[in-house]
Amino acid sequence: MGEQPPGSGALPPAIPAVLLPGGNWAPRGAEPAPGALPSVAAARDAQQGADRGAAGAGAVPDHPARGAAGPGAGAAPRERGAGGGCAGGSGESHRRRRTAAEEVVTKDGLFNAKKETSQEVEHGAEAPGIPDRNCVPQPPCTSVHTERTVAHLNTLKDRHPGDLWARMHISSLEYAAGDMTRKGRKKDKARVSELLQGLAFSGDSDVEEDNKLETHHAQKKLKMSNVPEKNWAKRDIKPSFPSWSALDSGLLNLKSEKLNPVELFELFFDDEIFNMIVNETNNYASQKNVNLEVTVQEIRCVFGILLLSGFVRRPRRGMYWEISDADQNLVRDAIRRDRFELIFSYLHFADNSHLDQKDKFTKLRPLIKQMNRNFLLYAPLEEYYYFDKTMCECFDSDQFLNGKPIRIGYKIWCGTTTQGYLVWFEPYQEESTVMVDKDLDLGLGGNLVMHFADVLLERGQYPYHLCFDSFFTSVKLVSALKKKGVKATGTIRENRTEKCPLMSTEHMRKMKKGYFDFRVEENEEIILCRWHGDDIISLCSNAVGIEPASELSCSADEDDSHQIAQPSIVKLYDECREGVAKMDQIISKYRVRIRSKKWYSILVSYIIDVAMNNAWQLHRACNASTSLDLLDFRRYVAHFYLEHNANLSD
C-alpha cells in the first residue's frame, strides 16, 4: 500500500463532506445553499475534468452517498500500476451515485435514483474486473448516461426546492463509512421511506405549516390576554354566601307516612318503571318472534330473585330451584326456572328502533333518566354533597380506576350526600352526553360538576356546598360555581393554581407537620391553602378558609403523640369526602350475583343495588331508633316480592 500524499484533500472517515461545484470537497457545514446548484453543462464539464484527473492519477473519489472518506473506498490517490484505468472508471461510477444520493429529495425520485444505481452495480458485477493487490477492490467499470442523469436530478431539484433537511439527515451513516452493499441499501431504503412519511418537501408546505403555527400561537396569546391577571394576597377569605337554613320537608313527610322497606324501595322502582320494563321486554321478544307476554308480577319475581342472590349465593343460578331450604322454596313457589330464564334473557329497557347511536348506553338511557329523577326527588335536602367517580365491577371492560376497591369495570360519575345517598349518576363514555356552557372551557371534570350543580339547583336556589377531588378542581370552576351561588371546596393540582405564590411542596416538606401557607385572590375571593399533614395537600375554596383552625392529634409511634394545627378548609374536606366511599362499602356487602349474557346486565344489577342503598338510607333517616340493618332490610324486600307475586295457578 502506498502512503497518502500530503495535500490530497482527503477527509477523515468521521467527518461528512459534500462536493462543491468544480469538484472540490468541503465539510458538511460549509456546503452551499440548496438553490445554488450547478447547471447541466457546468456539472458535465466538472464531471469530465474530474474524470480525466482521476484517471491520470489513479485517484479514487470519496464515498458517493454522503461524501465522507470511508476506509479503502474513500482513500486519497495512491501509487498503482496497471489498475489506473479501472480506478478512474470506478471514480466516475461513484461520483454518479454520490450525485444521485445528494440531489434527489422526493420519495419517488429518491427510490428511482437508487434503483438506477442498483442496476448499475448489478450490471457492472457481470463484467470481469482486474484486481490489484495495491488497490482496494472497486466495482467494475460501467458506462452511464451522465447528461441524462444530471438533467433528471436537476429537474427534480427545481420541482422540489425544499430539500435541505432530506439531503442532510436522511441518508444512512453506513454510506459515509463506505459500507456500500445491497443489504445496506435495502435497509436504508426502508428507513428513508419511514422518515419520509408525513414530511413536507415543498417550500409552500413549509410556509403553510409556519403560518398555522403562528396563527395557533396568536390565538393562544389572545385567549390568555383576555383572562385578567390574578391578584393574590396573604389573608383569610371573606365569604359572602348566606347561611344554610333550608328545611327538609320531603323527609318529614316520609317520616309521617311510616313506609315499610318495600314501599321505600318502590319510591325508585315505581310502577312507571316496572311498566316500562314490561313493555320494552315484550316488544323486544316480539321482534325476535317470541310470544313472551310477561307481566309486572313476573318482573317483580325476577327482581326478588336478583335481590336474594346478594345474600344467598349459589355456584349456579339453577341451584336456586334445586336445593330445598326456606329461601329456595320461596323461589320454586314463585316462578318456574325455565320461565325465569326466558324472561331474564329478553329483559329490555329501550326500543331498539329508536336508539341514539352516539350514546354508548342508549339501551339503558330511559332507565337511567327515570332513576336519576326519582333519586333527586326523594334525596335528603342537605348542605354538603360530594362528587367523585366510582366503578361498577365488570372484567370485560377495558376501563381502569386506581385507588378504588373495584378497579376494573365501568366508570361512573356520581354525586352523593355525606352519608352515601346517591343523588345523580352517569356512566362514563368518551363523548359525554352532559351538556353545559361551552364558553366556560372547564374540561370534562368541570363540566360534570357544573351539571351536578344544575341538578341540585332544580330543587331550589339553596347555598349548596360541593366537594370534589383534584381531577375536577380548578380556580375557574370554583369561580363559576360561585357565580351560580354554589359553595365549592376541593383539592387542586399544582398546574391549576393560577401562579399562586404558595410555598413550594419541596420546601414545605422540610417544615414541621401542621405548617400551612395560604393566599386569597382579591378579585374573586377564592382561597388556596397548602397544608403539611400526613402528606402535602393543596385545596381551593370559595366559601371556607383558615379560621377557625382546630387541633389534630398526630403520632409518629405509640409513645410520641402531639397536636398539630389543621385549617378549617382541610377539616371540612375530610368530613365530606367519604360520601362515595360509604356508598361503595354498602353496595359491596350484598351485591346482585346473577348476570345474563347481555353486556349491560351488570349495570342493571348496579342500579338495583344503588336503589336498595338509597331506600335503606331513607329507612335509617326515618326510623333512627328502630331501623333494620342492611341484610334484614334487603331480605324483607326480596321475600315480599317472591311471596306476594307468585303465580299460584302455575
**With 50 as the cut, is the pLDDT of residue 63 above it?**
no
pLDDT in tens, 66-80: 444 444 444 443 444
pLDDT in tens, 581-603: 999 999 999 999 998 889 899 99
508 assigned to some structural domain: no
Please count the structural domains in the chain: 1
Q: Please state, rounded to an integer, the average pLDDT across all residues of the chain.
A: 76
Residue 376: the pLDDT is: 96
628: which 3 cell numbers? 333494620
**With 50 as the cut, is the pLDDT of residue 524 above it?**
yes
Percent of the chain with pLDDT over 70: 61
Query: Are the C-beta atoms of residues 318 and 332 closer than 8 Å to each other?
Result: no
Phi, psi of 545, rounded to the nearest 5 degrees: -125, -135
Distance CA 252, CA 245 (A): 15
Query: DSSP characters for 100-116?
Result: HHHH--SHHHHHHHHHH
As a whole number, mean pLDDT of residues 517-535 equals 93
167 assigned to some structural domain: yes
Residue 410: the pLDDT is: 87
262 or 222: which carries more pLDDT confidence? 262
633 assigned to some structural domain: no
**With 90 as the cut, is the pLDDT of residue 55 above it?**
no
Name the band, by pLDDT with cuts 50, 70 and 90, for residue 129: very low
pLDDT in tens, 605-630: 999 999 999 999 999 999 988 899 99
Phi, psi of 301, rounded to the nearest 5 degrees: -65, -40
Name the band, by pLDDT with cuts 50, 70 and 90, for residue 558: low
Residue 342: the pLDDT is: 95
143 assigned to some structural domain: yes
Name the band, by pLDDT with cuts 50, 70 and 90, for residue 504: very high
Query: DSSP characters for 457-492?
Result: HTT-----EEEE-TTT--HHHHHHHHHTT-EEEEE-
**With 50 as the cut, is the pLDDT of residue 498 above it?**
yes
Residue whose cell numbers read 378542581 = 473
- At position 528, the amino acid (one-letter code) is L
Q: At a CB cut-off of 8 Å and minimum separation 6, what does 450 contact?
A: 436, 437, 440, 442, 477, 480, 481, 484
Q: How does strand 526-532 pair with strand 465-468?
A: unpaired
pLDDT in tens, 454-488: 999 999 899 999 999 999 999 999 999 999 999 99
As a whole number, mean pLDDT of residues 160-188 equals 49
State pTM to two decimals. Answer: 0.66
Task: Spell out where 406-535 has E strands.
Answer: 409-417, 422-427, 465-468, 487-491, 516-521, 526-532
Query: Are the C-beta atoms of residues 442 and 457 closer than 8 Å to each other?
Result: no
Phi, psi of 285, rounded to the nearest 5 degrees: -65, -40
**Domain coverage including residue 191:** 17-200
Query: Are the C-beta atoms of residues 563 and 539 closer than 8 Å to each other?
Result: no
Residue 177: the pLDDT is: 44
Percent of the chain with pLDDT over 90: 47
Name the band, by pLDDT with cuts 50, 70 and 90, for residue 171: very low
User: How many other C-beta atoms lie within 10 A of the C-beta of residue 101?
Assistant: 23
Residue 285: the pLDDT is: 96
490 assigned to some structural domain: no
Name the band, by pLDDT with cuts 50, 70 and 90, for residue 81: very low
User: How many other C-beta atoms lie within 10 A of the C-beta of residue 225?
Assistant: 9
431 assigned to some structural domain: no
73 assigned to some structural domain: yes
Q: Tell me which range, 17-21, 118-122, 399-403, 441-445, is most confidently predicted by mean pLDDT.
A: 441-445
pLDDT in tens, 287-313: 999 999 999 999 999 999 999 999 999
As a whole number, mean pLDDT of residues 182-190 equals 58
pLDDT in tens, 414-442: 999 999 999 999 999 877 777 776 767 88
Query: Are the C-beta atoms of residues 138 and 121 closer than 8 Å to each other?
Result: no
Residue 626: the pLDDT is: 87
86 or 189: which carries more pLDDT confidence? 189
Q: Which of 75-79, 186-190, 244-248 has the lowest mean pLDDT?
A: 75-79
Name the band, by pLDDT with cuts 50, 70 and 90, for residue 149: low
CA angle 403, 406, 409 (to 5 degrees): 115
166 assigned to some structural domain: yes
Element (H, E) at 18: strand 17-19
Residue 266: the pLDDT is: 96
